[in-house]
Amino acid sequence: MSTLLTHIAISDGKIKRSSLEVLSHCKQLAENNGHAAEAVIIDADASNYVDQVKSYGAEKIYTMEDPIFKNHMNTPLLKAFAKVMEEANPHVFAFASTESTKDILGALAANQDAAVLSDVSEFDLIDGGISAKRPVMAAKILSSTEAHDDQILVSVRSGSYDLVENETDAEVVNIDFSFDESELQATLREIIGASGDKIDLSEAETIVAAGRGAKDEEGQNLINELADVLGAGIGASRALTEAGIMDPSLQIGQTGKVVSPQLYIAIGISGAIQHVAGMANSKVIVAINKDPDAPIFEIADYGIVGDLYKVLPPFIEELKKIRN
Amino acid sequence: MKFYVCIKQVPDVNAPIQIKEGQLIQDTNRMILNAYDASAVEEALVLKEAHGGEVEVVSVGPDKVTETIRKALAMGADKAVHIQTSGDAEYDSATYATILAKFFEDKEYDVISCGKQSQDTDAGLAGSMLAEKLNLPYATNAVGLEMDSDKLVVKRQGDSGQEIIGLPSPCLVTCSNDMNDPRIPSLKGIMQSKRKPMETIELSSLGIDESELSPKTKVTGYQEKPGREPGQKFEGEPEEMAQQVAKLLDEEANVI
Ligand SMILES: Cc1cc2nc3c(=O)[nH]c(=O)nc-3n(C[C@H](O)[C@H](O)[C@H](O)COP(=O)(O)OP(=O)(O)OC[C@H]3O[C@@H](n4cnc5c(N)ncnc54)[C@H](O)[C@@H]3O)c2cc1C
Ligand SMILES: Nc1ncnc2c1ncn2[C@@H]1O[C@H](COP(=O)(O)O)[C@@H](O)[C@H]1O
């Protein structure tokens, strides 16, 4: 029997849904193959999240608590993860593919001399390792990839697996952690625009995304209004984040975030492959674009060919009526 | 300031691709400088122009990668190192990081700059692997770089906010293409690039036997993504289309 360990990511005082998706999948793999599904929470208040993790099937939950984990810093995190790996000795250590994960995954693999596959959209156990599918070439195609090693790190794109509740009476193990801040070479000077009540795009049910076609103030107002009516998160194409019109954290796509909402409304976005790379897994896609040949229409379930400034006002009114 | 920028030659993702019996068929003539590495080169040049110093680019790959190295030299990098592989095998990030770490072992520098990921594989691993192997403080996904006396100040895009991190030299940073718009080489730059020094290094001189490199991960094949079919397309009066689609979203798609 070996161990499948899932990292539970905490962001803004909440467990990231994507890490529970990964845990749900690991639990399934563990049950099918007679392995153990375990989880680890590394946070300033790690123990607060234990109960929620229990309901997704972890048989053992490691916690590591220290004030240093309040903000993301790669040096203490690496040290923490290395210690967890020594303690739990996982065959597979699975992560949700968040920015924090991306920051340390390669370094952790190098530190532990472990094999690593990043940003997979599915993975399975095979003899002596794992097999995985990875979107490549700006997510135009999938590669089948294998990793063979005693210890394998894998990070999973958000929205790849469904949440499966599976209440388990888990054993909780606290791992001591101490970190001498004078060891820190890198210093965190400031955090800008850390979200308060902003909607986490990687978890949003509905996303309204704006592109170059909606770059002026009137366009932005319409986008905000539509998002308000739908309770949606707002995303953007690179054209708008690059121009400084939208916050860089809102970029969706290859450079930006990968999202998988129930409803994605692309407004004034052409549908470049690098944008589509981040949103093609949305359940329902609506596109509003004045160019009937825009590539976004090739993947849209509902395509509206028209000027967004003319289409959005009545669209917002109709949706208001439905929502009331 | 001595900058090393690690640059990778990658296939152009905009070129048409085909999959035959699980193998990827692509136009090997359409190889480009990884977009994220182009941003890393650009930013190193900007800092050099402001504070002085030298920008040297390093690329690991078969002889073909020298075209990409020339591009970086034409942008303005001062010199280059080509670490030669046979090109018979495609390596994973860990293997490239191992080779690069060997190269950097006895080098002196202030900053090693990488791309945040390869544009073709989106792995995003080699940078932080290299930092760990060289025991350097590092930051990934940088969207801005500045010098503040002797520190490199990195603005990185985190999960929700942007983190401002001070790194002492020597350090490593991986760059996003959100950082800048890489310059297009001028004609003069292209002419000059032909006379700039490019050193070729064989793996054996780094103490590496290529036949013994055994990556822990390998690609076994490629396949099409389960595609999305285009759905219904509406053209006509804005009010009418708005009403129709709102109704369908509510009653057919059930997502309102
Ligand atoms: C390595 C790399 C990574 C990248 N990563 C990303 C990424 O993460 N995310 C991303 O988005 N891009 C990314 N890009 C950039 C991408 O290639 C495109 O340049 C970008 O997505 C274009 O944004 P856009 O669709 O808003 O703009 P455009 O392509 O200019 O499209 C604007 C659209 O708006 C329509 N329009 C204009 N006016 C109106 C109107 N009044 N009403 C209706 N429609 C209108 C036009 O018909 C057009 O289709 C990346 C590129 C590279 C090379
Ligand atoms: N063969 C290579 N030669 C030089 N640099 C490389 C090579 N492979 C990867 N890198 C660097 O590592 C970064 C991330 O690579 P990857 O892990 O492949 O996404 C790239 O953007 C480059 O800066």
- B16 vs A: CB within 8 A: no
Mean pLDDT on B58-83:
98
CA geometry: angle B216, A259, A280, nearest 5 deg? 85
Report residue B133 as tokens.
């192997």
Identify the pLDDT of residue B151.
94
Q: How many CB atoms lie within 10 A of CB A276?
A: 24
Q: How many CB atoms lie within 10 A of CB B18?
A: 12
Identify the pLDDT of residue B160.
75
The residues, ordered by sequence, that sit 6+ positions from A284 with a Cβ below 8 Å of its Cβ are A262, A263, A264, A301, A302, B249, B253, B255
Identify the pLDDT of residue A195.
52
Contact residues, chain A, for B162 at CB < 8 Å: 191-193, 248-249
Residue of B86, B91, B96, B138 to mutate, ligand 2, most atoms within 8 A of C-beta: B96
Alpha-carbon distance of A95 to A80, in angstroms, equals 14
Is the distance from the beta carbon of residue A275 to the nearest atom of ligand 1 less than 6 Å?
Answer: yes
Task: Yes or no: say if A188 and B163 are a contact pair by the CB < 8 Å rule.
Answer: yes
Mean pLDDT on B211-239:
93
Mean pLDDT on B160-176:
95
Interchain contact, B250 vs A322, CB within 8 Å? yes
Among B117, B90, B231, B206, CA closest to A302: B231
Interchain contact, B255 vs A298, CB within 8 Å? no
Alpha-carbon distance of A29 to B142, in angstroms, equals 36
> What strands, in cross-sheet order, belong to the sheet with A92-96?
A115-120, A152-156, A92-96, A3-8, A36-43, A60-65, A171-174
- Write out pLDDT tens, residues A137-161: 999 999 999 999 999 999 999 999 9
Among A21, A148, A97, A7, CA closest to B125: A97
Alpha-carbon distance of A176 to A79, in angstroms, equals 12
Please measure the distance between the N-terminal and C-terminal CA atoms of chain A and give it in whole angstroms: 54
Alpha-carbon distance of B256 to B251, in angstroms, equals 9
- Write out pLDDT tens, residues B218-230: 999 999 998 888 9
What b/e readout covers A21-35, taking b as 16+ CB neighbours within 10 angstroms?
bbbbbbbbbbeeeeb
Identify the pLDDT of residue A182.
87
Phi, psi of A29 (to 5 degrees): -60, -40
- B187 vs A: CB within 8 A: no
Tell me which residue has tokens 């849209």. Answer: A300
| B75 three-state secondary structure | helix
CA geometry: angle A135, A138, A142, nearest 5 deg? 25
Distance B104 CA to ligand 2 centre (A): 14
How far is Cα of residue B186 from the mean position of the Cα atoms in its chain?
Answer: 22
Task: Yes or no: say if B44 and B55 are a contact pair by the CB < 8 Å rule.
Answer: yes
Q: How many CB atoms lie within 10 A of CB B5?
A: 27
pTM of the model: 0.96
Q: Which of B118, B132, B160, B235 to mutate to test the interface with A (most CBs of A within 10 A)?
A: B160
Contacts made by residues B236-242, CB under 8 angstroms, sequence distance 24+: B238/A306, B238/A307, B238/A310, B238/A311, B238/A314, B239/A314, B241/A304, B241/A306, B241/A311, B242/A304, B242/A311, B242/A312, B242/A314, B242/A315, B242/A317, B242/A318
Which residues in chain B belong to E strands, given as ranges?
2-6, 9-11, 17-20, 23-26, 31-33, 54-61, 79-84, 111-115, 138-148, 151-157, 162-167, 171-175, 198-202, 217-224, 232-235
Angle formed by the axes of helices B238-251 and A308-323, nearest 10°: 40
A112 torsion bin: left (phi>0), alpha (psi -120 to 50), beta (else): alpha
User: Which stretches in chain A have pLDDT values below 70?
Assistant: 194-197
Q: Is the ipTM of this complex over 0.95?
A: yes
Is the distance from the beta carbon of residue B59 to the nearest atom of ligand 2 less than 6 Å?
Answer: yes
Task: Yes or no: say if A288 and A265 are a contact pair by the CB < 8 Å rule.
Answer: yes
Identify the pLDDT of residue A177.
96
Alpha-carbon distance of A152 to A20, in angstroms, equals 19
| B194 three-state secondary structure | coil
Among A67, A43, A64, A41, CA closest to A54: A41
Q: Looking at ligand 2, which residue's alpha carbon is closest to its atom 13?
A: B115
Contact residues, chain B, for A292 at CB < 8 Å: 233, 235
Residues 13-42 of A with CB under 8 A from B: none
Alpha-carbon distance of B113 to B116, in angstroms, equals 9
- A237 vs B: CB within 8 A: no
Contact residues, chain B, for A303 at CB < 8 Å: 230-234
Mean pLDDT on B157-161:
86
DSSP B113: E
Identify the pLDDT of residue B226.
84
Residues 105-124 of A with CB under 8 A from B: 105-111, 115-119
Task: Yes or no: say if B5 and B77 are a contact pair by the CB < 8 Å rule.
Answer: yes
Say if strands B138-148 and B171-175 run parallel, antiparallel, or are unpaired.
Answer: parallel
Q: In whole numbers, what is the pLDDT of chain B averaged over residues?
A: 96
